[in-house]
């Protein structure tokens, strides 16, 4: 703990026990012929990602999975009544390698898993599910990082979750036939992660953007974008690639389903964010202070988790400075520190 932290501050602000989590329930909503979107409720919070269900007369697919087996089993229970007789989830098309889009795969163990080769490399490099389970559930909630991990990730469980063996990895583009539904998978340059893809259904004009888009609308809140690979120019280009498909329905990685206008509004926000970062960087403002200032400006109040600016701003600084990637633990500390500062202004930050 910091030497200047008072006992009063400790007892007032640090939870003595782990934060209880509201249960997550998903809804499966149709968005086009043979296409449903599973949306977790609540719709905001780390790890609460959208998934797709594609159903045809002879096959079916998921696009991404929920974050853990419990949520994936919920999604599967909602999927089964929509499958044509004699069909199963044959394909699992994964937009990128973050666990909140993949780690529920054991609910559909016979599905052929597809992601990019770059995503495969990313997955091999990241902490695996069991590692993250221990990190989250064994963390001391009286530490800064433990406090943050417990409250945001403590609802998920991966004590024995393994990683899948993909049936297909690819670079560039590939088309998958889910029965009579063609799905065009297109790899993007490094943006949200190093292995992103977008999945476009030309017959339905639906595009699953993965985490290139974090959506919010006037009616439904969302979460602040967090990007790990970048730079932000590549995320903005990714939005353009989504729009260039011609899609009229865009399913973001997180948040409500959008139309083209919604994607353009998100793109505008990313451009605003990039420009603010560049201005503060040019003025010599350190990255953590820049993230704090931009969060305090509250430009987009419909987006939750503003502390994620610490990661996205830090990412853009690294690209501007051509510096090495920051270790994950350092990113988590910066994230938790900003969350604490925003929630407890003036209270010393625990160590
Ligand atoms: Zn995600």
Distances in Å between the Cα of 179 and the Cα atoms of 3, 90, 247 are 63, 10, 21
Label residue 233 exposed, middle or buried (CB < 10 Å: 0-12, 13-18, 19+). middle
- Dihedral sign (CA 30, 31, 34, 40): negative
Q: Which residues does 243 contact at the CB level (< 8 Å), separation at least 6? A: 260, 263, 264
Q: Distance from the CA of 200 to the center of ligand 1, in angstroms?
A: 18
Q: 23: which DSSP letter? A: P
- Among 45, 46, 50, which Cα is nearest to 29's? 50
Classified as helix, coil or strand, 199 is strand
Q: Distance from the CA of 202 to the center of ligand 1, in angstroms?
A: 24
Which token pair is 175?
A: 């088309």
Other beta carbons within 10 Å of 110: 8
Which token pair is 120?
A: 């495969």
Classified as helix, coil or strand, 177 is strand
Other beta carbons within 10 Å of 136: 19
Cβ proximity of 104 and 72 under 8 Å: yes
How far separated are the first and last CA of the chain, in Å rounded? Answer: 5
- Dihedral sign (CA 78, 82, 88, 92): negative
pLDDT tens per residue across span 83-113: 999 999 999 999 999 999 999 999 999 999 9
Which token pair is 1?
A: 């703990």
How far apart, in whole angstroms, are the C-alpha atoms of residue 249 and residue 261?
Answer: 10
Q: Distance from the CA of 98 to the center of ligand 1, in angstroms?
A: 6
- Dihedral sign (CA 88, 171, 118, 165): positive
pLDDT for 234 equals 98
Q: Distance from the CA of 225 to the center of ligand 1, in angstroms?
A: 9
pLDDT for 64 equals 98
Other beta carbons within 10 Å of 255: 28
Q: Distance from the CA of 347 to the center of ligand 1, in angstroms?
A: 31
Q: Distance from the CA of 349 to the center of ligand 1, in angstroms?
A: 28
How far apart, in whole angstroms, are the C-alpha atoms of residue 90 and residue 59?
Answer: 6
Which token pair is 85?
A: 């007789």
Q: Distance from the CA of 282 to the center of ligand 1, in angstroms?
A: 30
pLDDT for 296 equals 93
Strands (DSSP E) contained in 215-274 are 222-223, 249-254
Q: 263: which DSSP letter? A: H
pLDDT tens per residue across span 266-316: 999 999 999 999 999 999 999 999 999 999 998 888 899 999 999 999 999
Identify the bridge partners of residue 184 per DSSP, sorted by sequence position.
175, 200
How far apart, in whole angstroms, are the C-alpha atoms of residue 116 and residue 195?
Answer: 6
How far apart, in whole angstroms, are the C-alpha atoms of residue 287 and residue 212?
Answer: 22
Question: Which domains, from first to last, does the chain contain?
Answer: 7-343 (3.60.15.10)
Which parts of the chain register pLDDT below 50?
1-17
Q: Distance from the CA of 341 to the center of ligand 1, in angstroms?
A: 24
Q: Distance from the CA of 264 to the center of ligand 1, in angstroms?
A: 20
Q: 99: which DSSP letter? A: G
CA dihedral 174, 28, 67, 335 (to 10 degrees): 100
Q: Distance from the CA of 192 to the center of ligand 1, in angstroms?
A: 9
pLDDT for 11 equals 35
pLDDT for 319 equals 96
Q: 9-28: string of b/e by CB count within 10 Å (b at 16+)?
A: beeeebeeeeeeeeebebeb
């Amino acid at each position: 703990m910091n030497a200047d932290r008072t006992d009063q501050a400790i007892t007032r602000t640090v939870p003595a026990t782990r934060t209880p989590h509201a249960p997550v329930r998903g809804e499966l909503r149709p968005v086009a012929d043979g296409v449903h979107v599973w949306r977790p409720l609540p719709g905001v919070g780390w790890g609460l990602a959208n998934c797709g269900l594609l159903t045809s007369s002879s096959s079916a697919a998921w696009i991404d999975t929920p974050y853990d087996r419990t949520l994936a089993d919920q999604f599967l229970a909602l999927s089964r009544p929509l499958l044509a007789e004699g069909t199963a989830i044959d394909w699992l098309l994964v937009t990128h390698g973050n666990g909140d889009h993949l780690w529920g795969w054991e609910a559909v163990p016979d599905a052929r898993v597809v992601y990019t080769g770059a995503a495969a490399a990313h997955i091999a490099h990241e902490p695996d599910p069991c590692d993250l389970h221990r990190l989250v559930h064994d963390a001391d909630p009286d530490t800064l990082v433990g406090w943050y991990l417990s409250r945001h990730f403590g609802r998920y469980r991966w004590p024995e979750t393994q990683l899948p063996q993909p049936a297909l990895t690819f670079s560039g583009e590939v088309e998958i036939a889910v029965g009579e539904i063609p799905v065009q998978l297109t790899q993007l340059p490094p943006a949200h992660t190093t292995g992103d893809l977008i999945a476009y259904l030309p017959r339905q004009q639906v595009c699953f953007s993965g985490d290139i888009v974090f959506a919010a609308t006037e009616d439904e809140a969302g979460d602040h974008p967090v990007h790990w690979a970048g730079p932000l120019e590549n995320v903005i280009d990714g939005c353009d690639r989504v729009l260039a498909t011609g899609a009229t329905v865009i399913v973001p990685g997180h948040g409500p389903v959008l139309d083209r206008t919604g994607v353009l509004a998100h793109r505008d926000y990313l451009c605003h964010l990039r420009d603010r970062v560049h201005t503060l960087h040019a003025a010599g403002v350190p990255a953590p202070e820049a993230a704090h200032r931009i969060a305090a400006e509250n430009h987009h109040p419909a987006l939750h988790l503003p502390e994620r600016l610490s990661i996205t701003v830090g990412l853009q600084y690294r690209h501007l400075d051509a510096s090495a990637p920051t270790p994950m633990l350092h990113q988590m500390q910066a994230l938790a520190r900003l969350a604490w500062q925003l929630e407890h202004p003036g209270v010393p930050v625990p160590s």
